[in-house]
Copies of this chain bind each other. A is one copy, B any other.
Amino acid sequence: MADHFADRLCEAVNTKKTCLVVGLDPVYGRLPETIRSHRQMNDEFDAEAAVDAIFDFCTQVMRIVAPMVPAVKINIAFFEKYLWEGLETYYALISEAEDLGLEIIGDVKRGDVGHSAAVYAAAHLQNPELAGLEDTLAPDAITINGYTGADGIEPFAEVATQQGKGVFVLVRTSNPSAAPIQDIVDADGKATYERVADIVGQIADKPERIGKKGYSNVGMVVGGTAPNVTSTLRRNYDKLWFLVPGYGSQGASAADCVRFCKPDGTGALINASRSIIYAYEKPKYKEQFGSDWKRCIEQAVIDAKIDLATAMQTKL
Protein backbone atom coordinates (compact mmCIF):
# COMPACT_ATOMS: atom_id res chain seq x y z
CA MET A 1 0.00 0.00 0.00
CA ALA A 2 1.21 3.51 -0.76
CA ASP A 3 3.07 5.37 1.99
CA HIS A 4 1.38 8.66 1.19
CA PHE A 5 -2.18 9.20 2.33
CA ALA A 6 -3.23 11.02 -0.85
CA ASP A 7 -1.77 8.25 -3.04
CA ARG A 8 -3.66 5.65 -1.01
CA LEU A 9 -6.87 7.63 -1.53
CA CYS A 10 -6.30 7.70 -5.32
CA GLU A 11 -5.73 3.94 -5.34
CA ALA A 12 -8.77 3.25 -3.19
CA VAL A 13 -11.08 5.51 -5.22
CA ASN A 14 -9.87 3.93 -8.48
CA THR A 15 -10.23 0.38 -7.16
CA LYS A 16 -13.71 0.87 -5.69
CA LYS A 17 -14.74 3.10 -8.63
CA THR A 18 -16.47 5.63 -6.42
CA CYS A 19 -15.86 8.70 -4.31
CA LEU A 20 -18.53 7.60 -1.82
CA VAL A 21 -17.48 7.38 1.82
CA VAL A 22 -19.68 5.87 4.51
CA GLY A 23 -19.93 7.81 7.75
CA LEU A 24 -20.48 6.00 11.04
CA ASP A 25 -22.58 8.06 13.49
CA PRO A 26 -24.05 5.21 15.54
CA VAL A 27 -26.95 5.94 17.90
CA TYR A 28 -28.02 3.04 20.11
CA GLY A 29 -31.75 3.66 19.75
CA ARG A 30 -31.58 3.36 15.97
CA LEU A 31 -29.63 0.09 15.80
CA PRO A 32 -31.39 -2.90 14.21
CA GLU A 33 -33.77 -4.76 16.49
CA THR A 34 -31.78 -8.00 16.16
CA ILE A 35 -28.74 -6.33 17.70
CA ARG A 36 -30.61 -4.49 20.44
CA SER A 37 -32.51 -7.61 21.47
CA HIS A 38 -29.33 -9.65 21.96
CA ARG A 39 -29.26 -10.59 25.64
CA GLN A 40 -25.82 -9.05 26.20
CA MET A 41 -26.56 -5.84 24.36
CA ASN A 42 -30.15 -5.11 25.26
CA ASP A 43 -29.55 -2.26 27.70
CA GLU A 44 -29.10 1.23 26.30
CA PHE A 45 -28.23 2.51 29.78
CA ASP A 46 -25.43 0.09 30.47
CA ALA A 47 -22.22 1.52 29.03
CA GLU A 48 -20.69 -1.86 28.26
CA ALA A 49 -23.80 -3.31 26.66
CA ALA A 50 -24.33 -0.15 24.59
CA VAL A 51 -20.77 0.01 23.25
CA ASP A 52 -20.83 -3.73 22.51
CA ALA A 53 -23.97 -3.23 20.43
CA ILE A 54 -22.45 -0.23 18.65
CA PHE A 55 -19.23 -2.12 17.97
CA ASP A 56 -21.17 -5.09 16.61
CA PHE A 57 -23.30 -2.90 14.36
CA CYS A 58 -20.42 -0.80 13.01
CA THR A 59 -18.30 -3.89 12.35
CA GLN A 60 -21.10 -5.49 10.37
CA VAL A 61 -21.71 -2.27 8.45
CA MET A 62 -18.02 -2.04 7.58
CA ARG A 63 -17.96 -5.64 6.34
CA ILE A 64 -20.87 -4.84 4.02
CA VAL A 65 -19.40 -1.61 2.66
CA ALA A 66 -15.68 -2.50 2.55
CA PRO A 67 -15.77 -4.15 -0.91
CA MET A 68 -17.71 -1.18 -2.30
CA VAL A 69 -16.24 2.07 -0.93
CA PRO A 70 -12.72 3.45 -0.43
CA ALA A 71 -13.11 4.76 3.10
CA VAL A 72 -15.18 5.12 6.23
CA LYS A 73 -15.50 8.23 8.38
CA ILE A 74 -15.95 7.53 12.09
CA ASN A 75 -17.52 10.38 14.07
CA ILE A 76 -15.90 10.29 17.50
CA ALA A 77 -18.70 12.33 19.12
CA PHE A 78 -20.93 9.26 19.11
CA PHE A 79 -18.24 7.30 20.98
CA GLU A 80 -17.31 10.05 23.46
CA LYS A 81 -20.87 9.78 24.68
CA TYR A 82 -19.70 6.56 26.37
CA LEU A 83 -16.54 8.18 27.77
CA TRP A 84 -13.48 5.92 27.95
CA GLU A 85 -15.56 2.84 27.12
CA GLY A 86 -16.60 4.61 23.94
CA LEU A 87 -13.08 5.72 23.10
CA GLU A 88 -11.82 2.16 23.38
CA THR A 89 -14.60 1.14 20.97
CA TYR A 90 -13.61 3.90 18.52
CA TYR A 91 -10.06 2.51 18.42
CA ALA A 92 -11.30 -1.09 18.17
CA LEU A 93 -13.29 -0.08 15.08
CA ILE A 94 -10.23 1.54 13.52
CA SER A 95 -8.41 -1.80 13.80
CA GLU A 96 -11.38 -3.60 12.23
CA ALA A 97 -11.51 -1.08 9.38
CA GLU A 98 -7.78 -1.48 8.81
CA ASP A 99 -8.19 -5.27 8.58
CA LEU A 100 -10.92 -4.71 6.00
CA GLY A 101 -8.58 -2.61 3.87
CA LEU A 102 -10.55 0.60 4.29
CA GLU A 103 -9.04 4.05 4.55
CA ILE A 104 -10.17 5.48 7.87
CA ILE A 105 -11.04 9.09 8.58
CA GLY A 106 -11.36 9.95 12.24
CA ASP A 107 -13.96 12.72 12.30
CA VAL A 108 -12.65 14.34 15.47
CA LYS A 109 -12.73 18.07 14.57
CA ARG A 110 -9.96 18.85 17.02
CA GLY A 111 -8.28 22.23 17.07
CA ASP A 112 -6.27 24.38 19.45
CA VAL A 113 -3.36 26.82 19.55
CA GLY A 114 0.18 25.64 18.75
CA HIS A 115 1.31 23.94 21.96
CA SER A 116 -1.90 21.95 22.47
CA ALA A 117 -2.45 21.38 18.74
CA ALA A 118 0.81 19.42 18.65
CA VAL A 119 -0.41 17.23 21.50
CA TYR A 120 -3.78 16.61 19.82
CA ALA A 121 -1.99 15.81 16.55
CA ALA A 122 0.22 13.16 18.14
CA ALA A 123 -2.72 11.76 20.09
CA HIS A 124 -4.96 11.35 17.05
CA LEU A 125 -2.60 10.63 14.14
CA GLN A 126 0.33 8.72 15.57
CA ASN A 127 0.08 5.05 16.46
CA PRO A 128 0.79 4.96 20.20
CA GLU A 129 4.22 3.76 21.26
CA LEU A 130 3.01 2.91 24.72
CA ALA A 131 3.11 -0.39 26.57
CA GLY A 132 -0.49 -1.41 27.08
CA LEU A 133 -1.61 0.36 23.90
CA GLU A 134 0.85 -1.03 21.37
CA ASP A 135 -1.76 -2.86 19.29
CA THR A 136 -3.78 0.29 18.78
CA LEU A 137 -3.85 2.14 15.47
CA ALA A 138 -4.62 5.77 14.80
CA PRO A 139 -6.82 6.58 11.78
CA ASP A 140 -5.37 7.37 8.33
CA ALA A 141 -6.61 10.93 8.55
CA ILE A 142 -8.58 13.22 10.83
CA THR A 143 -10.73 16.30 10.49
CA ILE A 144 -9.62 19.46 12.29
CA ASN A 145 -10.94 22.96 12.96
CA GLY A 146 -8.71 25.75 11.61
CA TYR A 147 -10.24 28.81 13.30
CA THR A 148 -6.96 29.45 15.16
CA GLY A 149 -5.08 29.86 11.86
CA ALA A 150 -1.79 28.54 10.52
CA ASP A 151 -0.11 27.76 13.81
CA GLY A 152 -3.11 25.70 14.88
CA ILE A 153 -3.09 23.75 11.59
CA GLU A 154 0.66 23.24 10.98
CA PRO A 155 1.26 20.87 13.93
CA PHE A 156 -1.40 18.52 12.57
CA ALA A 157 -0.01 18.73 9.02
CA GLU A 158 3.49 17.98 10.31
CA VAL A 159 2.55 14.87 12.26
CA ALA A 160 0.37 13.67 9.38
CA THR A 161 3.25 14.09 6.92
CA GLN A 162 5.71 12.24 9.17
CA GLN A 163 3.25 9.40 9.62
CA GLY A 164 2.04 9.02 6.01
CA LYS A 165 -1.36 10.24 7.12
CA GLY A 166 -3.73 13.06 6.28
CA VAL A 167 -5.68 16.00 7.65
CA PHE A 168 -8.90 17.64 6.44
CA VAL A 169 -9.41 21.20 7.70
CA LEU A 170 -12.93 22.61 8.08
CA VAL A 171 -13.24 25.36 5.48
CA ARG A 172 -16.96 25.72 4.72
CA THR A 173 -19.32 23.63 6.81
CA SER A 174 -22.62 22.20 5.58
CA ASN A 175 -24.96 23.63 8.23
CA PRO A 176 -27.48 26.47 7.81
CA SER A 177 -25.78 28.87 10.25
CA ALA A 178 -22.33 28.63 8.65
CA ALA A 179 -22.93 31.64 6.37
CA PRO A 180 -23.05 34.47 8.96
CA ILE A 181 -19.48 33.62 9.96
CA GLN A 182 -17.88 31.77 7.07
CA ASP A 183 -19.34 33.68 4.10
CA ILE A 184 -18.80 37.23 5.38
CA VAL A 185 -16.79 39.13 2.77
CA ASP A 186 -13.96 41.48 3.73
CA ALA A 187 -12.86 44.73 2.07
CA ASP A 188 -10.79 42.76 -0.50
CA GLY A 189 -13.86 40.77 -1.52
CA LYS A 190 -12.72 37.58 0.22
CA ALA A 191 -15.01 35.51 2.41
CA THR A 192 -13.81 34.16 5.76
CA TYR A 193 -13.90 30.58 4.42
CA GLU A 194 -11.70 31.71 1.50
CA ARG A 195 -9.20 33.16 4.00
CA VAL A 196 -9.14 29.82 5.79
CA ALA A 197 -8.86 28.03 2.42
CA ASP A 198 -5.85 30.19 1.48
CA ILE A 199 -4.06 29.29 4.69
CA VAL A 200 -4.87 25.59 4.25
CA GLY A 201 -3.78 25.79 0.61
CA GLN A 202 -0.39 27.24 1.56
CA ILE A 203 0.21 24.56 4.17
CA ALA A 204 -0.92 21.82 1.76
CA ASP A 205 1.35 23.08 -1.00
CA LYS A 206 4.67 22.33 0.70
CA PRO A 207 6.64 19.91 -1.50
CA GLU A 208 7.08 17.28 1.24
CA ARG A 209 3.29 17.02 1.46
CA ILE A 210 2.63 16.24 -2.22
CA GLY A 211 2.36 12.56 -3.20
CA LYS A 212 3.15 10.81 -6.48
CA LYS A 213 -0.29 11.50 -7.89
CA GLY A 214 0.06 15.24 -7.34
CA TYR A 215 -2.23 15.53 -4.32
CA SER A 216 -1.35 16.85 -0.88
CA ASN A 217 -2.03 14.94 2.32
CA VAL A 218 -3.66 18.13 3.65
CA GLY A 219 -7.21 18.64 2.38
CA MET A 220 -10.36 20.60 3.14
CA VAL A 221 -13.80 19.84 4.48
CA VAL A 222 -16.30 21.68 2.28
CA GLY A 223 -20.02 21.04 2.60
CA GLY A 224 -21.96 20.00 -0.47
CA THR A 225 -24.87 22.17 0.64
CA ALA A 226 -23.64 25.56 -0.64
CA PRO A 227 -22.60 25.00 -4.28
CA ASN A 228 -23.05 28.64 -5.28
CA VAL A 229 -20.69 29.74 -2.51
CA THR A 230 -17.91 27.23 -2.99
CA SER A 231 -17.84 26.76 -6.75
CA THR A 232 -14.35 28.20 -7.26
CA LEU A 233 -12.60 26.07 -4.64
CA ARG A 234 -11.94 23.03 -6.88
CA ARG A 235 -10.34 25.30 -9.48
CA ASN A 236 -8.25 27.25 -6.99
CA TYR A 237 -6.86 24.31 -5.00
CA ASP A 238 -5.91 21.77 -7.59
CA LYS A 239 -3.71 19.64 -5.33
CA LEU A 240 -6.15 19.24 -2.47
CA TRP A 241 -8.57 16.48 -1.63
CA PHE A 242 -12.01 17.67 -0.52
CA LEU A 243 -14.02 15.84 2.08
CA VAL A 244 -17.63 16.70 1.31
CA PRO A 245 -20.35 16.19 3.94
CA GLY A 246 -24.00 16.95 3.34
CA TYR A 247 -24.90 14.31 0.75
CA GLY A 248 -27.95 12.30 1.74
CA SER A 249 -29.68 13.27 5.00
CA GLN A 250 -28.34 16.85 4.96
CA GLY A 251 -29.83 17.59 1.54
CA ALA A 252 -26.96 18.13 -0.92
CA SER A 253 -27.59 16.47 -4.29
CA ALA A 254 -25.13 14.21 -6.09
CA ALA A 255 -24.58 16.99 -8.64
CA ASP A 256 -23.82 19.48 -5.83
CA CYS A 257 -21.20 17.10 -4.45
CA VAL A 258 -19.43 15.70 -7.52
CA ARG A 259 -18.45 19.15 -8.72
CA PHE A 260 -15.52 18.70 -6.33
CA CYS A 261 -14.34 15.59 -8.23
CA LYS A 262 -11.89 15.84 -11.08
CA PRO A 263 -12.81 14.20 -14.43
CA ASP A 264 -10.91 11.02 -13.43
CA GLY A 265 -13.06 10.71 -10.32
CA THR A 266 -10.37 11.58 -7.79
CA GLY A 267 -10.09 14.73 -5.70
CA ALA A 268 -13.16 14.45 -3.52
CA LEU A 269 -14.65 12.08 -1.00
CA ILE A 270 -18.43 12.40 -0.75
CA ASN A 271 -19.68 11.34 2.66
CA ALA A 272 -23.09 9.88 3.44
CA SER A 273 -23.78 8.77 7.01
CA ARG A 274 -27.35 8.36 8.21
CA SER A 275 -28.83 7.81 4.73
CA ILE A 276 -26.69 4.66 4.45
CA ILE A 277 -26.29 3.20 7.91
CA TYR A 278 -29.97 3.58 8.79
CA ALA A 279 -31.24 2.59 5.32
CA TYR A 280 -33.34 -0.16 6.95
CA GLU A 281 -35.58 2.56 8.45
CA LYS A 282 -36.61 3.77 5.00
CA PRO A 283 -39.93 2.43 3.57
CA LYS A 284 -38.27 2.10 0.16
CA TYR A 285 -35.81 -0.51 1.42
CA LYS A 286 -38.04 -2.04 4.11
CA GLU A 287 -40.65 -2.93 1.51
CA GLN A 288 -38.03 -4.62 -0.63
CA PHE A 289 -35.94 -6.44 1.96
CA GLY A 290 -38.11 -6.68 5.06
CA SER A 291 -36.08 -7.06 8.23
CA ASP A 292 -32.87 -7.89 6.37
CA TRP A 293 -31.15 -4.71 7.50
CA LYS A 294 -27.81 -5.65 5.99
CA ARG A 295 -29.33 -6.01 2.54
CA CYS A 296 -30.93 -2.56 2.98
CA ILE A 297 -27.55 -1.01 3.73
CA GLU A 298 -25.92 -2.79 0.83
CA GLN A 299 -28.60 -1.55 -1.56
CA ALA A 300 -28.34 2.01 -0.21
CA VAL A 301 -24.59 1.98 -0.98
CA ILE A 302 -25.26 0.64 -4.49
CA ASP A 303 -27.93 3.30 -5.08
CA ALA A 304 -25.68 6.10 -3.79
CA LYS A 305 -22.80 4.91 -5.99
CA ILE A 306 -25.08 4.90 -9.05
CA ASP A 307 -26.46 8.32 -8.13
CA LEU A 308 -22.95 9.79 -7.86
CA ALA A 309 -21.70 8.01 -11.00
CA THR A 310 -24.68 9.32 -12.97
CA ALA A 311 -24.02 12.84 -11.73
CA MET A 312 -20.38 12.48 -12.82
CA GLN A 313 -21.47 11.36 -16.30
CA THR A 314 -23.78 14.34 -16.59
CA LYS A 315 -21.03 16.69 -15.47
CA LEU A 316 -18.46 15.43 -18.00
Docked-complex contact B48 and A132, CB < 8 angstroms: yes
Assuming the A-B contacts A77-B119, A181-B199, are A173 and B84 also in contact, with contact meaning beta carbons closer than 8 angstroms in the complex? no
Stretch touching chain B among A62-70, A182-190, A276-284:
A182-190
Mask, A196-209, CB within 8 Å of B = 1, is 10010000000000
- A21 interface contact, C-beta 8 A: no
- Nearest to A92 among chain B residues (CB) is B84
Cβ-based interface call for A285 (8 A)? no
CA distance A22 to B10 in the complex (A): 47
Q: Cβ of A77 and Cβ of B114 under 8 Å apart?
A: no
Best-surrounded residue of A177, A180, A187, A195 (most CB of chain B within 10 A): A177
Q: Do B178 and A130 touch (CB < 8 A)?
A: no
* CB contact between A151 and one of B75, B88, B177, B185 (< 8 Å): that residue: B177
Name the interface residues of A35-57: CB closer than 8 Å to any CB of B.
43, 45-48, 50
Interface size class of A (residues with CB under 8 A): 35 or more
A109: chain B residues at CB < 8 Å are: 110-112, 145
Binds B, one of A96-104, A120-128, A233-241, A291-299: A120-128
Nearest CB to that of A151 among chain B residues? B177
Residue A61 at the B interface, CB < 8 A?
A: no
B148 and A173 contact, CB distance less than 8 A: yes
Residues of B within 8 A of A265 (CB): none
Structural contact, A47 and B133, CB atoms closer than 8 A: yes
Are A130 and B25 closer than 8 Å at their CB atoms? no
Query: Contacts of A181 on B, CB cut-off 8 Å?
Result: 146-149, 192, 195-196, 199
Q: Which of A25, A147, A149, A179 has the most CB of B within 10 A?
A: A147
Does the CB pair A113–B174 fall under 8 Å?
A: yes
List B contacts of A48 (CB < 8 A).
Answer: 131-132
> Known contacts A147-B173, A173-B148; is A129 also within 8 Å of B180 by CB?
no
Query: A192 touches which one: B86, B122, B173, B192 (CB < 8 A)?
Result: B192
Q: Contact check, A80 vs B120: say whether CB atoms are below 8 A apart.
A: yes
A113 to B177, CA, bound (A): 9
Q: Given A149-B180, A152-B177, A45 and B111 touching (CB < 8 A)?
A: no
Residues of A within 8 A of B (CB): 25, 43, 45-48, 50, 75, 77-78, 80-88, 91, 109-116, 119-120, 122-124, 128-133, 136, 145-152, 170, 173-182, 184-187, 190, 192, 195-196, 199, 245
